[in-house]
């Protein structure tokens, strides 16, 4: 893609060495953008972007977004923040700082450079929802002082900042609320249910089920999610969001475990543990707004996406 000046767009991806960020970076490079990845590698990995080192339009900066950044860009995809409970609960104060200070710094950069900026928000802003499925008009049911609050409330504050910059400074903003996403390059130790189940099954360990396993999630394959992010960024300026991006297919944890075991084989059992504090009981996006505004919807069925993800982890654990 080219900028208004006739040159390739210069796009900043914060958190670009993470799971979603690395997939997004590849897509942007494939379409001809110049891409600057910023990451402090707290939860991202150099391995995710190692093969991009020699790409002439790729640039990597080790930087923490809680500190200001001074570069020239046309667009900013602001993904920087640990998104799995294992990582964001390890240093909850830093998680909140990343959400709040990081957003302030990236919004300031967008204001100075007149760049369009997209926030990777989350379905966690809905908390343990009292409305099902969740549509963007729902304000959520979030515990402000729980162990997940650093992330949930941090992202809610980030959304507030984005819309205040839009109202006060007429900044061109986009806010995506991302539901559970999975696929190759997930970290095997990030504590998310898809990677947990697959790694446990491949290693012949029991699959950890929290609670009774009847809680539900909706799983979106990463390629579909990236397509939604790009469509949102490329949408007209009056489309600010928030817009839900996720797959409305709803599965219990027991159903997911059965699917993983069927793909991997072996004789792993299920091991039940207490449900963590504030863990949402149900989660499913209403994607009507994404369908009508962006012409977007998921295309990869869960069985197909899981098979690709199992192949990735099988190769990774084998050292291939």
State pLDDT tens for residues 118-176: 999 999 999 999 999 999 999 999 999 999 999 999 999 999 999 999 999 999 999 99
| Gap between the Cα atoms of 119 and 121, Å rounded | 6
Told to judge if 42 belongs to the known catalytic residues of this protein, a careful annotator would answer no
181 within 8 A of 247, measured Cβ to Cβ = no
pLDDT for 86 equals 83
Question: What digits encode the pLDDT tens for the residues 26-58?
Answer: 999 999 999 999 999 999 999 999 999 999 999
Give the domain ranges of the chain: 10-182+221-247+286-298
Domain spanning 10-182+221-247+286-298: CATH superfamily: NAD(P)-binding Rossmann-like Domain (3.40.50.720)
pLDDT for 319 equals 76
Question: What digits encode the pLDDT tens for the residues 6-28?
Answer: 789 999 999 999 999 999 999 99
Q: Please name every residue paired with 36 in a beta bridge, in sequence order, or none if there are none.
A: 12, 59
- From the candidates 151, 165, 182, 221, give the one annotated as an active-site residue: 151
Q: What is the pTM of this model?
A: 0.95
244 within 8 A of 123, measured Cβ to Cβ = yes
307 within 8 A of 262, measured Cβ to Cβ = no
pLDDT for 5 equals 60
Residue 320 has pLDDT above 70, yes or no: no
Phi and psi at residue 70, in whole multiples of 5°? Answer: -120, 90
In terms of residues, how long is the chain? 320
Residue that wins the pLDDT comparison between 130 and 191:
130
């Amino acid at each position: 893609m080219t900028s208004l000046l006739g040159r390739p767009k210069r796009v900043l991806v914060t958190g670009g060495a993470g799971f979603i960020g690395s997939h997004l970076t590849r897509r942007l490079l494939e379409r001809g953008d110049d891409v600057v990845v910023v990451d402090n590698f707290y939860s991202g990995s150099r391995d995710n972007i190692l093969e991009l080192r020699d790409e002439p339009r790729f640039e990597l900066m080790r930087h923490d977004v809680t500190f200001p950044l001074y570069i020239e860009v046309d667009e900013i995809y602001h993904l920087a923040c640990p998104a799995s409970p294992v990582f964001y609960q390890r240093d909850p104060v830093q998680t909140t700082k990343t959400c709040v200070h990081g957003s302030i710094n990236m919004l300031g950069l967008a204001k100075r450079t007149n760049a369009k900026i997209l926030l990777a928000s989350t379905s966690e802003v809905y908390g343990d929802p009292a409305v099902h499925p969740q549509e963007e008009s729902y304000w959520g049911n979030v515990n402000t002082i729980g162990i997940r609050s650093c992330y949930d409330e941090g992202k809610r504050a980030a959304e507030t900042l984005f819309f205040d910059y839009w109202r006060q400074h007429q900044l061109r903003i986009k806010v995506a609320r991302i539901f559970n996403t999975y696929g190759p390059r997930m970290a095997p130790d990030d504590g998310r249910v898809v990677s947990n189940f697959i790694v446990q099954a491949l290693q012949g360990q029991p699959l950890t089920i929290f609670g009774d396993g009847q809680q539900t999630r909706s799983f979106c394959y990463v390629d579909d999610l990236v397509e939604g992010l790009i469509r949102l960024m490329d949408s007209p300026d009056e489309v600010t969001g928030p817009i839900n991006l996720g797959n409305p297919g709803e599965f219990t944890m027991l159903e997911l475990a059965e699917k993983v075991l069927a793909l991997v084989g072996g004789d792993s059992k299920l091991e039940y543990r207490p449900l963590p504090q504030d863990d949402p009981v149900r989660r499913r996006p209403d994607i009507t707004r994404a369908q009508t505004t962006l012409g977007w919807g998921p295309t990869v069925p869960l069985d197909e996406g899981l098979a690709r993800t199992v192949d990735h982890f099988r190769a990774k654990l084998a050292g291939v």
